Structure 1
C-alpha cells in the first residue's frame, strides 16, 4: 500500500523539481553602475518631428508623470511668445518687429500650439531671443558655424538662437 501512494507523490515531486527553474525570476543587474534613468534621452538625438520611437513615448510618459505634459487631461495651453531679444529691449529694430508676425503665423499653422506676441512686461510661456557671444546665461555662442541654439527646461521656457547663424 505504501508503494502505491509513494509512486504518485514522487511523480508530482519530480514534476515540481523539473518545473522549478522555469518559475524562478532572474534578477537583472545593470551592466553600467553609473547608468542614469535619463539614458533613454540620449537615443533621441537626431529624432525629428514625425518620428515615432519608443524613446519618444518614454519621454512623453516622463513629462506626464511630473506634470510637464498634460495633453490627455486638458487642451493645449495657449503658447505666448515674447519675440524681443534681451539685447534689443531698449532699441527694437525694424527688422525684428516686421519679421515676428510672419514667424508666429508660420509656427501657428505648422503646430498644434497657438502663438502670439506679448509685451515684454506680460507673462509668456516661451521667450525666444537672438544673441551673439556671451549673453549672460553661462552658455555663450561661438559665432557662425558653431552652436546654433540652446534652450532651457520646460518650466523656464527660454530659447536662445545664435544671431550670427
Structure 2
C-alpha cells in the first residue's frame, strides 16, 4: 500500500515573502521563531471571519488530512480566506490530536504548532484514519497505524536497505553510519534486523536526499518546512528534503539527520504518528534538537502492530 509520506512546511505567499526578507539570517539560523512569524496575523481568528492568509491554513490542514483535497488550479477550489464550518471542524480535530485546547479558534499555541517543521506523513490518511489518537481504550497509548494496518509479512523479518543516488548533502560514510545507528534502535525493540546492500534498486528500503518534485507525488517545498517523508509497508521509500540544512549532531539552525531517520524508519515499519510529544513518532521537531531514543509509546506501538509480547 502506498500511503502518503511524511513532510513539514507551509507554503503561503506571505511565508515566501518573509523568507526572502530574512534570507541573510536564515542562512545562519533556521530558528523556530522564523517559522512562526507568518501566522501571527491570524491569531484569534474564528468562524465567521474573512481574514487574508486563512487559505494557507486551509492548505496546511488539507495537506495533513484534516480537509478534503482540492485542485488549487481550479476556481472555487477552496483557496479562499473565509473561516467556515469545515475549517472550524478541521482545527478542532487538529487541536484534539495534539492535545491542545479544543476551541476551533486559531489561538497562539495552535498556530505555533502548525508553524513547526514536521514529518510529511499526513495525520489523517485518505480521510479514514487519524495518525494521532487521543488514547486507546483501556490504555494510555497514543501510537497509531496507517489505514488497514499495513506491515511487513513474517517472511520479511530481515529488511535490506540501500542509498539512492539523489543529492549528496552529507558524506556517504557519515550517512551510512547514522542510518545504521537509527536502524539498530528499532532492531533492539522489535524482531526486525536490517542489512545494508549496495544495490538500492533491489533493497526493501530505499533512502535518498531529493529536492522539490522528485517523482513520488509528494514534492518537497524547499528550506523550512517538510523535512522528510517515508511510506508505509511494503513501499519502502524514505526521502530527506535536500534543501534543509542538515547536521550529523544537534546544531543550532540545522536538523539532526539521525533524529529524522529514526522517525521515518518507524513509518517504513508501519507506524503512524503519536500524540506524545516526547515520542520519536511525534510529527514535529525543531532545529538544533537531537531526539533519537525510542519512547515507551514507540516501543508499544511497534510491538502491538506486529503482535509481539
Contact kept, 8 Å, 2:169 with 2:209, in 1: the verdict is no
Could you give the per-residue CA deviations for residues 33-68 of structure 1, whole angstroms, max 9, x where no partner exists?
Answer: xxxxx75622x2389xxx724x73xx489337xxx3
* 1:33-44 → structure 2 map (5 Å cutoff): 41-42=129-130, 44=131
- Alignment match, 1:10: none
Q: Report what 1:45 is aligned to.
A: 132
Q: Deviations over 1:93-140 (max 9, x none)?
A: 880233313321342134423222111266221111111122222322
Give the equivalent residue in structure 2 for 1:78: 158
Cα offset for 1:160? 1.2
Report the secondary structure of 1:115's partner residue. Answer: strand
* Residue in 2 that maps onto 1:125: 204
Residue number among 63, 67, 87 corresponding to 2:149 in the alignment: 63
**1:81-160 alignment runs, 5 A limit:** 81-82=161-162, 84-87=163-166, 95-111=171-187, 112=190, 113-120=192-199, 123-160=202-239
Contact 1:63 1:69 in 2 (8 A): no
Aligned-CA RMSD value: 3.6
Return the TM-score normalized by structure 2. 0.30
Shift of 1:75: 7.6
1:133/1:141 contact within 8 Å kept: yes
Match of 1:34 in 2: none
What residue is the counterpart of 2:12 in the other structure?
Answer: none
Aligned length: 112
Distance in 2 (CA, whole Å) between partners of 1:60 and 1:147 is 19
> How far apart are the structure 2 equivalents of 1:86 and 1:76?
25
In structure 2, relative to structure 1, the CA distance for the partners of 1:148 and 1:106 (3 Å cut) is: closer
Q: Which consecutive unaligned segments of at least 5 residues does structure 2 have?
A: 1-125, 135-139, 245-309
Greater relative contact order, per chain length (Cα 8 Å cut-off, separation 6+): 2
Structure-1-length-normalised TM-score: 0.51
What is the alpha-carbon distance in structure 2 between the residues aligned to residue 77 and residue 63 of structure 1?
17
Asked if the contact 2:208–2:240 (Cα under 8 Å) also holds between the matched residues in 1, the reply is: yes
- Structure whose alpha-carbon radius of gyration is higher: 1
Q: Distance in 2 between matches of 1:39 and 1:94?
A: 37
Counterparts of 2:178 and 2:225, CA distance in 1: 26
